[in-house]
Structure 1
Amino acid sequence: MGKRGRKPGVKQDGVSKLERSRLSARECRVRKKLRYEYLEELVQDREKAISALEHELELYRKVCEQIDSGNITEELRNLVESDWFVKS
């Protein structure tokens, strides 16, 4: 079994090690920034979807209230028979 650490005969100067460390840190910051941008986009998409669903739910509530009250208007009849209502 070999020893851990640097190999004998290979000298590592402090400047190149420091430069690799800086490069690694820079790459890490770039990856972190990309990850946050992706997550922000994901949140925005989900918020839009939630808003659309809330709007649709409110529409269904109004339709149900009108049906329960027996107040079926021509507009409600057209809405119920429309493609949008059937697809949803």
Structure 2
Amino acid sequence: MNIQVTDNQRIDSVIVGLDVKEYAKVFSVSEKTVRIRIREKKVNCYKQNHKWVIRVDRNEIPDSSNKLDNQLISEIDSFNGLRPKDDHR
């Protein structure tokens, strides 16, 4: 985990992995645009089980992007092994 210090504030930097669809939704771009960014190496990504995973610093996710709701955050954290998914039974 990287920690950035800005004006005496500590901001925890957590890298999350988003698939193409999630990245497109969070950054309000088309999936085609995401694939172009991958092809042109404009995003930090890797393939996992034949699917692209784009590494994004959680602090770089736009605040106005409330599209990344608590359920999606939970899914991302679960995917990255940060916390277990809640069982809603």
Q: Give the TM-score normalised by the residue count of structure 1.
A: 0.22
Query: Which has the higher Rg, Structure 1 or Structure 2?
Result: 1
Higher strand residue share: 2
Which has the bigger relative contact order, CA under 8 A and spacing at least 6?
A: 2
Higher helix residue share: 1
